Structure 1
Amino acid sequence: MNILFLCTGNSCRSIIAEATFNHLASAHMRAISAGSQPTGEVHPRSLALLAEKGIATAGYYSKSWDDLPATPDIVITVCGNAAGETCPAYLGNVLRAHWGVDDPAKATGTDKEINASFEAAYRILRARILAFVQLDQEILSDARKLKAELDQIGNIL
């Protein structure tokens, strides 16, 4: 099962979700990430946070949804709802869910405050990913049930 975490820039949230998912999920589930308008680089604070959590960062890079190595089965958008941010709409025939998370790359303030924004995004995404990877096979194999579960998981804070 291929899961695509999608946002606009593919520098923070979707990269954090991709790496965290791949760290926590079983071998039959794999995450990739992409952006509709990728920045071309992973935010250094994203990489530092992942490394601090013991999650491998090698091989993760900012990429376009036009360059996916595999067709996703599930697309999860992670764009936030703040400041009128618009999530890209993936146009494939896939199951979709929205797990909005505010963009830590837009955080301002002291280093401590900015780091707290990255930590908050990671904490929310990790909690949602844990709920996803713990779903039983009956739910994973039923698209209707899976869609309902993914939508519910998107509410976890």
Structure 2
Amino acid sequence: MSDKIYNVLFLCTSNSARSILAEAILNEVGKGRFQAFSAGSLPAGQVNPIALELLQRNRISTEGLRSKDWNEFSAPDAPPLDFVFTVCDKAAGELCPVWPGQPMTAHWGVEDPVVAAGSPEDIQRAFSQAFMLLHRRISLFASLPLAKLEAQALKRELDQIGQTALTQEA
């Protein structure tokens, strides 16, 4: 068994909800195997309070979560990244910085709960659905035998996880 801790960056445009949720979920689910981070191309500057409340309700730590610019992770003193996942379609189409260490990348698009309209219940449901989908994908990712998979096989697995929906069976 490998003692390597994998550094994973989740990207979204505003880094206020989806990428924040993903960071917190992986740090919980992958404790000891992964160090997750999140960032955005145009960070909102604050974490969405509904996202924080949802994490707390699911007993996932919110300590240290903040909205960050993705340039923090392309700086010379940034942690070397093993994986970079985009969780919103807009960030997936943007020209990303060059990440030190040539991390493996994949797109795991999730609908933005921040733009959900309707009643407070509708908005909560949008956040819950984003959380559940991210939790499912991240759990699948965390269960992969990363040290044993060749690069092409790992890339296929990561892309397949990005297609995982809430209604699919594992």
TM-score by length of 2: 0.84
Deviation at 1:129, TM superposition (A): 0.4
Q: Which runs of 5+ in 2 are unaligned?
A: 1-5, 166-170
Once residues 89 and 47 of structure 1 are traced to their aligned partners in structure 2, the CA distance between those partners, rounded to angstroms, is 28
Identity %: 42
Query: Partner of 1:119 in structure 2?
Result: 128
Q: C-alpha offsets along residues 29-87 of structure 1, whole Å, 9 cap, x if unaligned?
A: 1110000110000000000000000001010000001123413211100004xxxx453
Secondary structure at 2:133 match in 1? helix
Q: Give 1:95's match in structure 2, choosing from 88, 104, 111.
A: 104
Q: Give 2:55's match in structure 1, choosing from 40, 50, 73.
A: 50
Query: Partner of 1:155 in structure 2?
Result: 163
Query: Partner of 1:27 in structure 2?
Result: 32
Q: Give 1:138's match in structure 2, choosing from 144, 148, 162.
A: 148
Secondary structure at 1:76 match in 2? strand
Once residues 119 and 26 of structure 1 are traced to their aligned partners in structure 2, the CA distance between those partners, rounded to angstroms, is 22
The 1:17–1:86 alpha-carbon spacing in structure 2 relative to 1, beyond 3 Å, is closer
Query: Partner of 2:7 in structure 1?
Result: 2
Q: C-alpha offsets along residues 86-123 of structure 1, whole Å, 9 cap, x if unaligned?
A: 53343333211000001000111100000000000000
Q: Give 1:65's match in structure 2, choosing from 58, 66, 70.
A: 70
Aligned residues: 151
TM-score by length of 1: 0.91
Query: Partner of 2:20 in structure 1?
Result: 15
Once residues 140 and 91 of structure 2 are traced to their aligned partners in structure 1, the CA distance between those partners, rounded to angstroms, is 25
RMSD (Å), alpha carbons: 1.3
Aligned structure 1 segments of 4 or more residues deviating by more than 6 angstroms? none
1:39 aligns with 2:36: no
Of the structure 1 ranges 27-36 and 11-20, higher mean CA displacement relative to structure 2 is found in 27-36
Once residues 95 and 125 of structure 2 are traced to their aligned partners in structure 1, the CA distance between those partners, rounded to angstroms, is 29
